Amino acid sequence: MKILVIGSGGREHALVWKLKQSPSVTQIYCAPGNAGIGLDCTNVDIAATDFPKLIKFVQKEKIDLTVVGPEVPLVQGIVDEFQKVGLRIFGPTKKAAELEGSKKFAKEIMRKANVPTADFRVFTNSAEAISYIEEREEGDRFVIKADGLAAGKGVTVCDSNEEARDAIRRMLLHKEFGEAGQRIVIEDRLVGEEASLLAFVDGNTIVPLEAAQDHKAAHDGDTGPNTGGMGAYSPTPIVNDEIIDTVVEKILVPMVHEMNKEGRPFRGCLYAGLMLTNQGPKVLEFNVRLGDPETQAVLMRLKSDLAQIMYACAEGKLDQIEPLEWDPRPSLCVVMASAGYPGDYEKGLPIRGLDDAALVPDTKVFHAGTRRVGEQIVNDGGRVLGVTAIGDTISDAKLRAYQAVKCIRWDGAWCRKDISDKANRY
């Protein structure tokens, strides 16, 4: 089987690495890929949103399966374009991908499906939004979200009404997120522990993966601005089998049914971002692709053949695959970022120590924002590397990951030091 992976981040590197392990896979391409991905497969210099060129390449190379990593091409309708010309592709259609493309749409579908989530209101006018905040009871707390795609940064978790007013002004008045923030969703802030559950879905069958816990805030102790994710670990002690069963029964099954009723059947990976509250799991958000950095941690533990799973999913035959097999050992991913992220950062800085990091046992350095310049690998994004390790215990995995992190240097490189420490609370 020949496979094309679309994207250029850490998630795509993890996908390439895992797909390559399948006995049925003969060749893997990645478009456009990055410096690290290029060491594990053949990079193709085509943008993830250049659908005509991608289709031409797939037809020319007789690719058997295309796997879409990032959300932007999915929301723009890459699956529809491939299906129009009879090409097999893993991912949801444009109408189904609106679950991630519009927070408003996702919340409305959840309401119809009776899926547990925070109460919400939608606004396009800043004065009306601020008035709504001020009319609520003293002590109420809010989360302000840009409606559209904002690269994981369009969410402000507010500790005060002043923070909420500031977030509203930044989105609606100052256009901080451009078109994505022209409409906002104001949610009641949920209290609890966050966790992520990903599931393969083929429109009818749902196959949940092992749970993970992401670390969204930039700095240790969950402080600082929201990011695309600074690290993750899997499994997380807070999510047991009973909670997974509850999430499937009360959240995933109703959502998949409701999407079918709406004429938007979902095929691909459905990602539920959860808050585990005193009333049970509630949905913070849905994504329509594998998470980043959860994918790095989760795929490190997957023993089943990912290529066969994704092929069956694209064919609507998930019910025919064997139950997923997992390495019982925990894994952990630490994201190394550029100075200034999630704000502005400098690109083109040489990265040192990657060969030394690769020598740490049971560790894989997934590249997220890197580029090759001559013989050197340089940083080319905010989140640059996902240093991922597996160990007999969470502490063991953490030790290995940070041992590899210590080998790697570039000017201004930084990371959170407390990935997985939350596991110690349980």
Indicate the class that CATH gives domain 125-182. alpha beta
Give how far Cα 58 sits from Cα of 29, 54, 62, 68, 275, Å. 10, 6, 6, 13, 40
* Cβ(296)–Cβ(234) below 8 Å: no
Burial class (CB in 10 A: 0-12, 13-18, 19+), 137: exposed
Which residues, 6 or more positions from 62, have their beta carbon under 8 angstroms from its beta carbon?
A: 2
pTM of the entire structure? 0.95
Do 43 and 33 meet the contact criterion of CB atoms below 8 Å apart? yes
How many CB atoms are closer than 10 A to CB 153? 18
* b/e map 62-83, b = 16+ CB within 10 Å: ebbbbbbbbbbbbbbbbbbbbe
Distance CA(395)–CA(421), nearest Å, equals 9
C-alpha distances out from residue 160 to 83, 120, 156, 167, 222, Å: 47, 17, 11, 11, 17
421: amino acid identity, one letter: D
Tell me 211's DSSP state.
Answer: -
- Which residue carries 């499906």 as its tokens? 113
Structural domain spans, the chain = 2-94, 125-182, 191-224+234-320, 331-425
Q: Domain 331-425 - what CATH class?
A: alpha beta
What does the alpha-carbon distance between residue 80 and residue 71 come to, in Å, rounded to a whole number? 14
* Amino acid type, 198: L
Task: Render each residue's pLDDT in the chain as its tens digit; 426 residues.
Answer: 999 999 999 999 999 999 999 999 999 999 999 999 999 999 999 999 999 999 999 999 999 999 999 999 999 999 999 999 999 999 999 999 999 999 999 999 999 999 999 999 999 999 999 999 999 988 889 999 999 998 777 888 999 999 999 999 999 999 989 988 999 999 999 999 889 999 999 999 999 999 999 998 999 999 998 888 999 999 999 999 999 999 999 999 999 999 999 999 999 999 999 999 999 999 999 999 999 999 999 999 999 999 999 999 999 999 999 999 999 999 999 999 999 999 999 999 999 999 999 999 999 999 999 999 999 999 999 999 999 999 999 999 999 999 999 999 999 999 999 999 988 776
Closest alpha carbon to 168 in 192, 188, 142, 149: 142
- Percent helix / strand / coil, the chain, rounded to 5: 35, 30, 35
CATH number of 191-224+234-320: 3.30.470.20
Asked if 347 and 380 count as a contact pair (C-beta separation under 8 A), the reply is yes
* Dihedral angle, C-alpha 79, 81, 86, 91, nearest 10 °: 0
What count of other Cβ atoms lies within 10 Å of the Cβ of residue 44?
Answer: 17
Place of tokens 């925990």: 330
Q: State the CATH architecture for 2-94.
A: 3-Layer(aba) Sandwich (3.40)
